[in-house]
């Protein structure tokens, strides 16, 4: 039962490489080890995703609190009251602007004094 194709003798049966005679126990052990590694990777991936979700949830809570604070401020201002926090922000900005203006004036005064003296 041999076939002659193109001058070559072919045996009937499966084509391709013959599977090597691998010890069945070794093959099963490799499969188990691979499954263990896969489960470990999956566990790590889930831990990472859970940490990511919890950090995003904390950020969302912080932003909600900030939004609520701004809502309270707006409601107070609608009633004609200025919250102390906004007063502090405004006075802080005014102090900063006043310092910047005084520095600019001092520099301008120096340049005028220098330009007036020949």
Question: Quick one: pLDDT at residue 59?
Answer: 97
Query: Do the Cβ atoms of 14 and 6 come closer than 8 Å?
Result: no
Distances (CA, A) of 106 to 21, 45, 97, 110: 93, 61, 14, 6
The answer to whether the beta carbons of residues 72 and 81 sit under 8 Å apart is no
Is pTM beyond 0.95? Reply is: no
Q: What are the structure tokens assigned to 3, written together? A: 């076939």
Q: Which of 97, 77, 79 is nearest to 87 (CA)?
A: 77
pLDDT tens-digit readout, 25-76: 889 999 999 999 999 999 999 999 999 999 999 999 999 999 999 999 999 9
pLDDT, residue 113, reads 52
Residues in the chain: 118
């Amino acid at each position: 039962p041999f076939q002659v194709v193109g001058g070559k003798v072919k045996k009937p049966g499966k084509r391709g490489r013959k599977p090597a005679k691998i010890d069945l126990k070794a093959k099963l052990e490799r499969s188990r080890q691979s499954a263990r590694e896969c489960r470990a990777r999956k566990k790590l991936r889930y831990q990472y995703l859970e940490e990511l979700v919890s950090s995003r949830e904390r950020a969302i809570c912080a932003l909600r609190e900030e939004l609520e604070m701004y809502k309270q401020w707006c409601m107070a201002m609608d009633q004609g009251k200025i919250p102390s926090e906004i007063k502090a922000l405004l006075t802080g900005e005014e102090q900063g602007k006043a310092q910047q203006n005084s520095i600019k004036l001092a520099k301008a005064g120096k340049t005028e004094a220098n330009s007036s003296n020949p």
